[in-house]
Structure 1
Amino acid sequence: MANYRIHFAKEILGVPFTVGSVEIAKARDPGRALRAAEIRFARQHRLSDWRERADTVDIAASEGAAQG
């Protein structure tokens, strides 16, 4: 299992501005990490859906990610 960092951004005039990021430890794959991050981001900001605050997401394996 690997660690992932997901960045949430709002695009203004085509330029993405990061509005938050979430670290997910030990996800089976990037898809599961993304779904977990979307839920966590929405809860942190007391939103029903993460898209109320951000337009795009960027997912990357974190440094020191576990080798599976």
Structure 2
Amino acid sequence: MPNYRVHFAKQILGVPFTVGFVEIARARDPERALKAAEIRFARARGVTDWRERADTVDLAAPAEAEL
């Protein structure tokens, strides 16, 4: 099963600034990895929805994120 890194960003004046990321060790597919990361990000920040702290989300496999 692939590993994923999900980056969360806040847009300020049209420029995305990363506010955090979550690594998902195991997921069947990218959609499940994204959903798990959204839940984990929200819980870590004490909010019910990840959109309260970030505007955009970007899913990448770790090999792509390290380049």
After superposition, the C-alpha distances for 1:9-28 in whole angstroms (9 at most, x for unaligned) are 00001100000000001111
1:60 is aligned to 2:38: no
Q: Which has the higher strand share?
A: 1
**Where in structure 2 are the equivalents of 1:24-39 lying within 5 Å?**
24-39=24-39
Q: TM-score, normalised by structure 2?
A: 0.91
Structure with bigger RCO (C-alpha 8 Å, 6+ apart):
1
Mind listing any 5+ residue stretches in structure 2 that lack a counterpart? Answer: none
Q: TM-score, normalised by structure 1?
A: 0.90
Structure 2 residue identity aligned to 1:46: G
Determine the structure 2 residue equivalent to 1:66.
none
RMSD: 0.5
In the aligned structure 2, how far is the partner of 1:37 from the partner of 1:25?
10
Q: Give 4+ residue runs of structure 1 displaced > 3 Å after superposition.
A: none
Give % identity: 76
Determine the structure 1 residue equivalent to 2:8.
8
Q: Which has the higher helix share?
A: 2
Mind listing any 5+ residue stretches in structure 1 that lack a counterpart? Answer: 64-68
SS at structure 1 position matched to 2:54? coil
